[in-house]
Amino acid sequence: MATVSYTSRSATPDNEADPVAALVARARAAQLIANGYDQARTDELVAAAGWAIMEPTRNRALAELAVADTGIGNVDDKIRKNYRKTLGLLRDLKGAPSVGVISEDPAKGLVEIARPVGVVAAVTPSTNPAATPANKIINALKGRNAVIVAPSPKGVTACALLLEYIHAEFDRIAAPRDLVQMLPAPISKASTQALMQQCDLVVVTGSQSNVKNAYASGTPAFGVGAGNVASIVDETADCDASAEKIVRSKTFDNATSCSSENSVVLVDAVYDRMLAALAACGAVLLDADQKAAVQKLMWPDGKLSSRAIGQSAQAIARGAGLDDLGAPSVLMVEEAQIGPAHPYSGEKLSPVLAVYRARDFDDAKQIVERIYAHQGAGHSVSLHSTRDERALDLGLNLAVARVIVNQAHCIATGGSFDNGLPFSLSMGCGTWGGNNFSDNMNYRHYLNTTRIARPIAEVVPSDEAVLGEFFEKYGR
C-alpha cells in the first residue's frame, strides 16, 4: 500500500524555533508510515497502547502519580478506571474495521473506505490525566492517525509517564514513537492553541473554555459539554438498591467524573425512605449551618475551589470545620432553588449532592429541566424506576443525549460491561450542550470515510408513491 498522505493540510516545517511545529512535523512523518499499515498492524498499535496502561505495575504507578500531582481523586478508583475503561475500549475495537474497505452494500452500489484524519490534537483534563489521554490515543491509533496530547498543567507528569510506557510498547513492535507525542512542559494556553491550529482534528475534554477555544481554532473539533447530572428516583424505585448505586457512583474517584450525580430529585412518596437509604450508605444530610459552612469552603469567591474538587466527603467536611460528622461517604444538602445564585444546583466535582423534593414524576422532570437550563444540558439523566415508559418520556422530552436507567450513573454513562454504550471518557452533549455530536466519542470520530458510488438499476417513484398520503389529506 502506498504511503501517501491522508491529510488535506500541508506538512508543517520542522522549525526548531517553534517546538509545536516541530512536534507536528514529526507526527506527520510518523503518520505517513502508519498510512501503509494494514488492519492487523493497526490493531497491534491499539493493543500496544492499551497494554501500556493496563499492565498492573504501570497502572498503579500512573494512578499514584496522578493523585500525587493533581491532588484529585483516589488511587484505587483510578486503577480501576484505567483498567476497565481501557479493557472495555479494546473490547469495542476488537474486530472493528478501520482500514480500507469497511462496508459494502451491493444493492445500493456503495462501498465505504476508512481513511485517517491525520494528526490529532488531544486536549485532556487533570481529573483523568492517564485514562482520558489513553482513551483518545487508542481511538486515534485505530484510525492510523498520529496524536499529540495537550495535558492539563497538573497532569503533565502522569501523561509523560503514560507516553513513556506507550513508547516502550511501540519499541517492542517496531512502531514509530512519534505516532504518540505530547506538548512539552510547561503547558501554556498559547502552545495548546498553536497545537490546535496546526493539527487536522481537535478532540477536547475538560473545561468549557478549552472547548470554546477548540471550536474557535479554525480546525475541525469535537468538544464535550458541561456535566451536571441529575438523578430522578420515583415512587416505584427500590430505595435500597437505588441508594447503593447513587453512592457508589458519587464516591467513585471522589466524583471527578462529569457523569457523577450532582443532584437527586426524589419524588415525595419516597423522599424520607430514600434519605434513610442514602444515610445507610454513609451519606450525611447537612443542616442549614453545615450547608453554609461547606458552601463557603467550596465557593469562596463564587468559583468552585480546588479545596473541594476531587476531594473526599470527609476531607471537605474537615475543611469546613465539621469534624463531628465522622467519616461520611457523601455530603447531602437539601435544595429548592436553581441558578447562578444557588451553587449547589450546579456541577460540584466532589461527593456533595443536592437533594430536591418533587411532588411526583412530572414535577421531578420539570425540576431536572430547570437544572439543565442552568447547567448540564445535553449530557445525561439518571432514572431509578420500575416504570420503563418513564425512561422513554425523559428521552423524548428532556434535553439529554443519554437516559441511564437503574445503574450507577458515572460508571454506566461512559460504557460498561452491563450496558451497550461504547466505552468512552468523552461524551458528546449535542447542540443542547454546545457540541456537534451526541454520541459517546469512539474510533469512528477519528476517521474520514470515502464512498464509492456505482450505478444501479434506476427506480423512480411516482408522485403518488411519495406524496399520496399528503394528497389524500390536503389535496393537490
pLDDT 10s per residue in the chain (476 long)? 333 343 445 444 445 579 999 999 999 999 999 999 999 999 999 999 999 999 999 999 999 999 999 999 999 999 999 999 999 999 999 999 999 999 999 999 999 999 999 999 999 999 999 999 999 999 999 999 999 999 999 999 999 999 999 999 999 999 999 999 999 989 999 999 999 999 999 999 888 888 888 899 999 999 998 899 999 999 999 999 999 999 999 999 999 999 999 999 999 999 999 999 999 999 999 999 999 999 999 999 999 999 999 999 999 999 999 999 989 999 999 999 999 999 999 999 999 999 999 999 999 999 999 999 999 999 999 999 999 999 999 999 999 999 999 999 999 999 999 999 999 999 999 999 999 999 999 999 999 999 999 999 999 999 999 999 999 999 99
Short-list 155, 342, 341, 319, CA closest to 331 = 319
Residue owning grid cell 450513573? 409
The answer to whether residues 242 and 310 belong to one domain is yes
**CATH (domain of 391):** 3.40.309.10
How many domains does the structure of the chain reveal?
2
Could you confirm whether 258 is annotated as catalytic? yes
The answer to whether residues 156 and 92 belong to one domain is yes
Element (H, E) at 438: none
Classified as helix, coil or strand, 159 is helix
- The Cα–Cα gap between 467 and 433 comes to 36
The answer to whether residues 245 and 130 belong to one domain is no
Sign of CA dihedral 355, 359, 361, 362: negative
- The Cα–Cα gap between 245 and 242 comes to 5
How is the chain split among helix, strand and coil, in percent rounded to 5?
Answer: 45, 15, 35
The answer to whether residues 40 and 171 belong to one domain is yes
Contact indicator for 210, 204 with CB cutoff of 8 Å: yes
The answer to whether residues 160 and 98 belong to one domain is yes
Element (H, E) at 470: helix 463-474
- The Cα–Cα gap between 200 and 147 comes to 10
Sheet holding 100-105, edge to edge: 100-105, 110-116, 447-453
In a domain, 473, yes or no: no
Residue owning grid cell 476531587? 310
Sign of CA dihedral 82, 88, 92, 94: positive
The pTM assigned to this predicted structure is 0.92
In a domain, 475, yes or no: no
- The Cα–Cα gap between 119 and 117 comes to 7
Which one is catalytic: 258, 281, 410, 429?
258
The answer to whether residues 191 and 88 belong to one domain is yes
Contact indicator for 418, 395 with CB cutoff of 8 Å: no
The answer to whether residues 280 and 192 belong to one domain is no
Domain that holds residue 413: 229-424
The answer to whether residues 236 and 216 belong to one domain is no
Contact indicator for 208, 226 with CB cutoff of 8 Å: yes
In a domain, 470, yes or no: no
> Residue 413: beta bridge partners?
none
The answer to whether residues 253 and 210 belong to one domain is no
322 grid coordinates: 465539621
Cβ count near 174 (within 10 Å) = 7
Q: How many Cα atoms within 13 Å fall on the side-chain side of residue 135? A: 32
As a whole number of Å, the end-to-end CA separation of the chain is 56
Any idea of the CA torsion for 7, 11, 12, 15, to the nearest 10 degrees? 150
